[in-house]
Every structure is written in structure tokens, then in C-alpha cells.
Amino acid sequence: MIDLRPLPKVELHLHLEGAAPPEFIRSLAARKKVDLSKIFDERGNYAYSDFPDFLRVYEAACTVLTNPQDFHDLTLAVLEQSASHNVLYSEAFLSPDFCGGGDLIAWRDYLAAMEAAAATAEAQVGITLRGCITCIRHFGPVQARQIARCAQETAGAFITGFGIAGDETQFHPREFAYAFDAAREAGLGLTAHAGEWGGPDSVRDALEHLRVSRIGHGVRAIEDDALVAHLAESGTVLEVCPGSNSALGLYPQIIAHPIDKLRRKGVLVTVSTDDPPFFHTDMTREYQGLANAFNWQDEDFAQINNTALNAAFCDAQTRTALC
């Protein structure tokens, strides 16, 4: 079997806090005297039973990330990890909600720390990071407007996108249209988590009301042929995270995952890890799983990475430098 680790990779869907190694969170918890023992299993891994429980554990882990230095250190650790799998370009979801609760002044300080860490990682291990500010659906539309304000005020060379994560079964996308309109006016690329815990209508609603060019996951579009045709025709890009879907029980076996079918039907798919330590994955494992299940070869991965680079929210100069 070929070693897929050295293959150059582009990742579009990675939650920064969700990429925190459990030992990183445990050491902060010990230092800050916070008891987080309940979110880890006996082997020290994150322990959760289903998607709502995953969100609870995720948010509990975030409670020990309390200052810009924590986010600096986290960013550096995550980028070193990604670079070790030869990820050359990464887009990470950054959450002002977990960086001072969405307060703009606090957010600027946290962002400066993350950007400094990204510059260090770029110089040391050659990975380029861009930030996609994300609001969190189950925190509601009022809070999302505040997060969009953080996005508007800090949009630029580093913050290039805006998105929505969290529980897609809560609230209707139309309630977030104002936040997405503000982000669009600020020149940000747009993406929305949909078609993970919601069916095809959830994807349709995100496209109609949020007018995004990318969908996070989107895999349940496979349940509706007309929607699949629309995704293919419109060139909507799916940020597919097979290991995440498998670990969270959506498609427990990779062979049953729809990524290959979607791709064969002309949908632009890309591959990402979502929250790697939660799902015991990394970019090499994702590629290896797809090679095993669907016999994907070097040229398939080259095409996937080309799609990802074209769909990236970075500027043209950054994209060209990566080609």
C-alpha cells in the first residue's frame, strides 16, 4: 500500500478547538485547577456517546481555553500536527464565542495571538493558515449577529471566511441570513454546516437563505437526486469529513459513506478531518480510508486537492503560491 502521508494536502474544514489534543486540554485543566475528568475515558481520549454529547464535551473542553496565550499555543500545536501530514494549506473555523464570548475587543486580542502562531508555523513548518470565523447555530441568531460583527471588523488577509457550525436541528437558516449578509458584504467567503444531522431540505435551506458557496458535510444530499444534480450544476463544494461521520455514527462503515457516489455524480467534494482527536483521525488516515474503501489513487487525491484549493477562501496570490 502506498504511503499517503507525504502527499501534499489542502484542508478546508477543521475546527481549531476541536483539533485540541486531549493532553493539551488536560494540561490546561490541571494548571487552572478545573476538573474535566468526566470528558475523558480511561485511555485519556475524549469520551462522548452521540452528537449532542459530543457538543457538550467539546464545549466543556473549551472552558479551559481562557486567554490569548492558550489560543496561540493551541494554534501552533494544531498546525505542527497538520504539517506533519503534509497539509500545505489549512482553513480553520475560529469561534469568537470561545474567545471572550463574542466581545469584539477581546476577540481582537485572541485573533492577534492566533495570527502570530500561524506566522510562526508558516515560517517553521511551511503550512499556510486562513481563518473562517464561525458562529454556532444552537447559540442562536442574536449571538450569531455579534459573531458576524467580529467577522466584519476583522476581515482581511487572514480572516477570509464566515460560517456556521453546531446543531443544525436548531433554528431555521433564515434566522441567520442577516449575519451571513453582513459577512458577505465584508467580502468573506461563506460556508454552512448542513446535511450532517439534517436531511436534503437542510442543505437546500442553507443554500437559499445563507447563499453559501460551500457546505460543511452536505453528505445527506445523497438522499435527493434533484439536490445532487443542483449541487453538481451550481459547483457547490462539499467539505466532506468521512472519519467524523463515521465516528459520530452517521455512516459507521466508510464503505457506506456517500462521498464516492457524490463525486461520481459530478459534485465537487473535498476531504477534511473536522475535529481530528475526537474522531481518532488525521488527514493521512482520511486518505488511507478512502483509498481502501473506494480504490482512490494519486490522481483522485490530486483532483480533490485541486478542488479544495480552488474553493479556498484565500486570495489569488496565496492560491497561486500553493499551486
Q: Which sign does the torsion angle of CA 240, 244, 248, 251 carry?
A: positive
- Asked if residue 286 binds ligand ADE (CB under 6 A), the reply is no
Residue 175 falls in the annotated catalytic set: no
- Asked if residue 168 binds Zn ion (CB under 5 A), the reply is no
> Distance between CA atoms of 146 and 87, rounded to whole angstroms?
32
- Asked if residue 15 binds ligand ADE (CB under 6 A), the reply is yes
Instruction: Give the DSSP letter string of 267-302.
Output: -EEEE--BSGGGGT--HHHHHHHHHHHH---HHHHH
CB neighbourhood size of 136 (10 A): 23
Helix, strand, or coil here: 48? Answer: coil
> Of 244, 270, 284, 288, which one interacts with ligand ADE (CB under 6 A)?
244
From the list Zn ion, ligand ADE, none, partner contacted by residue 179 (C-beta under 5 to 8 A by kind): none
User: At closest approach, how far in Å is the CB of 275 from ligand ADE?
Assistant: 5
User: At closest approach, how far in Å is the CB of 254 from Zn ion?
Assistant: 18
> Distance between CA atoms of 197 and 182, rounded to whole angstroms?
26
Q: What backbone phi and psi angles, to 5 degrees, belong to 133?
A: -70, 135
Q: Which is nearer to ligand ADE, 115 or 275 (CB)?
A: 275
Instruction: Give the DSSP letter string of 196-221.
Output: SSS-HHHHHHHHHHH--SEEEE-GGG
Count of residues interacting with ligand ADE (CB under 6 A): 9
From the list ligand ADE, Zn ion, none, partner contacted by residue 26 (C-beta under 5 to 8 A by kind): none
Interactions with ligand ADE, residue window 248-277 (CB under 6 A): 274-275
User: At closest approach, how far in Å is the CB of 51 from ligand ADE?
Assistant: 7
> Of 79, 165, 179, 271, which one interacts with ligand ADE (CB under 6 A)?
165
User: At closest approach, how far in Å is the CB of 240 from Zn ion?
Assistant: 11
Closest CA to 230 of 259, 200, 196: 200
User: At closest approach, how far in Å is the CB of 141 from ligand ADE?
Assistant: 16
Closest CA to 168 of 138, 190, 210: 138
Q: Report the residue number whose CB is nearest to ligand ADE.
A: 165
CB neighbourhood size of 160 (10 A): 20
> Of 91, 274, 282, 286, which one interacts with Zn ion (CB under 5 A)?
274
Q: CA separation (Å) from 30 to 41, 99, 225?
A: 16, 20, 51
Closest CA to 220 of 193, 181, 186: 193
Cα–chain center distance at 207: 18
User: At closest approach, how far in Å is the CB of 298 from ligand ADE?
Assistant: 28
Q: Report the residue number whose CB is nearest to Zn ion.
A: 274
> Of 130, 193, 263, 285, which one interacts with ligand ADE (CB under 6 A)?
193
Q: Which of 196, 233, 286, 299 is catalytic?
A: 196
**Residues with a known catalytic role:** 196
Q: Which residues bind Zn ion (CB under 5 A)?
A: 274
Q: Which residues bind ligand ADE (CB under 6 A)?
A: 15, 18, 165-166, 193, 196, 244, 274-275
